[in-house]
Amino acid sequence: MEKMKQSAWWLFTLFGIPVTFPWLLYYLYNVMMFKRRKALLSGKVVMITGASSGLGEALAHIYYSCGCRLILISRRRDELQRVKDTLMNIHYTVPTHPPVILPLDLTEINSLNSEVEKVLKIHGRVDILINNAGISYRGEVENTNVDVYIKVMLINYFAQVAMTKAVLPSMMEQRSGHIICISSVQGKMAIPYRSAYAASKHALQAWSDSLRAEISDKNIKVTVISPGYIQTSLSLNALTECGQKYGVMDEATQQGYPAENVAEEVLKSMLNGSKDVTISTCSPKIAILIRTLFPSFYFWIMEVRAKKSRDSASKKE
């Protein structure tokens, strides 16, 4: 027994210390740099779409607690006012910057430029744009109205493009800025009965990748965040094949990450200058890897998944 202890200590001395000590220094350095970068956010102007609930509301809390000047965008004025009041009651910041609420329907694409001009007159700039607003979908391709595809694409893709293009000229003029697009793991791999949603997130991912390359010399960063399931009302508000609300809280959504945790990861990703981040459990990450390296195997898995979903739906009927 004594010899085993001596051997274990010898192995730790030989291998453990040389690995542990540099890792500890690296960890402490990252913690120190994170705090320093976080402190630099004070006074930054942050525009968040879809800020009236869910992840958008959680992001508002995270950035407001850093001393940021927020512009909160959503269609629902009452909910935006609730979020604003909550932020000011919970977080004490010096100086205090009351959030600006902007009730806006992002699908009114032609009006976005004039609405952004209003914001620029208030703060003079937008330092960080978080394209978070979105809608989900549940249904079969065969039975889905084309209007549903258009609506999902309009909200999840075209509205994000239009909002970014409205803000981008001011960022290019000031030669600084950060654009964060909230995508989904389904923007990297499609699953059955999510065709409209996956397609819109695929499009957002591709557009963001192109944008990042084109403005890389303008000191403007682009980060795409691809979360897995989050505990929000996304599935409740999802559109069905005929455009009605799905109205069901999926089990996977209910068991997903808390929105606050994802918001923290978004902040970390931005401060670290990450370009593309997947926030999920191991299963989606493995699925994305399989889709990339072994596509035929991935397609077979999805076929099996689709069949199970059909069989389950048949039993319920």
Shared-domain flag, residues 167 and 304: no
Q: Is 166 in contact with 116 (CB distance < 8 Å)? A: yes
User: Is 95's pLDDT higher than 70?
Assistant: yes
**Residue 248: predicted pLDDT:** 87
The answer on 233 and 306 residing in a single domain is no
Q: How does pLDDT run across 228-249, given as a tens digit for each residue?
A: 999 988 888 899 999 898 888 8
- The pLDDT score that the predictor gives to residue 208 is 97
Q: Is residue 104 part of a domain?
A: yes
pLDDT at 139: 93
On whether both 85 and 131 belong to a single domain, the answer is yes
What is the domain count for the chain? Answer: 2
* Interval 165-211: pLDDT, tens: 999 999 999 999 999 999 999 999 999 999 999 999 999 999 999 99
Residue 16 lies in a domain: no
Three-class DSSP category at 281: coil
**Whether residue 160 is found in the same domain as residue 209:** yes
Identify the CATH number of the domain in which residue 59 sits: 3.40.50.720
* Cα–Cα dist 273/212, whole Å: 12
Q: Which of 163, 139, 134, 130 is nearest to 151 (CA)?
A: 134
Please check whether residue 235 lies inside any domain of the structure.
yes
Work out the mean pLDDT of the chain and round it to a whole number.
89
Supply the angle between the helices 282-293 and 295-316 in degrees, to the nearest 10.
130
Q: Is residue 93 part of a domain?
A: yes
Residues 264 and 303 placed together within one structural domain of the fold: no
Is 168 in a helix, a strand, or coil? helix
Q: Is there a single domain that holds both residue 169 and residue 307?
A: no
φ, ψ dihedrals at 111, nearest 5°: -95, -5
pLDDT at residue 161 in the model: 97
Residue 218 lies in a domain: yes
Please compute the mean of the pLDDT values over residues 73-92 and round it to a whole number: 92
Q: Name the residue type at position 13.
A: T
- Distances, alpha carbon 127 to alpha carbons 11, 219, 232, 260, in Å: 50, 11, 27, 22
Q: Which domain holds residue 179?
A: 41-280
Instruction: Return the residue matching tokens 């909230």.
Output: 182
CB 148 within 8 A of CB 139: yes
What is the C-alpha separation between 214 and 222, in angstroms, rounded? 10
Question: pLDDT tens digits, residue range 34-59?
Answer: 667 777 898 999 999 999 999 999 99
Band (pLDDT 50/70/90 cuts) for residue 315 is low
Clarify whether residues 71 and 174 are in a common domain.
yes
Residue 223 makes CB contacts below 8 A (sequence gap 6+) with 178, 179, 180, 181, 269, 270, 274, 275, 276, 277
Which sequence positions are flagged as catalytic?
Answer: 197
For residue 181, give the H/E element and its range: strand 177-182
Residue 158 clears pLDDT 60, i.e. is over it: yes
Residue 247 and residue 308 in one domain: no
Q: Count of CB atoms within 10 A of residue 310's CB?
A: 13
Residue, of 29 and 251, whose pLDDT is higher: 251
Report the pLDDT value the prediction gives residue 97, as an integer from 0 to 100. 87
For residues 302 and 254, state if they share a domain.
no
User: What's 6-33 look like in SS3?
Assistant: HHHHHHHHHHHHHHHHHHHHHHHHHHHH
pLDDT of residue 3: 61
Regarding whether 189 and 64 lie in a shared domain, the answer is: yes
The pLDDT of residue 254 is: 84
Give CA–CA dist 252/232, Å, rounded. Answer: 11
In this prediction, residue 228 carries a pLDDT of: 93
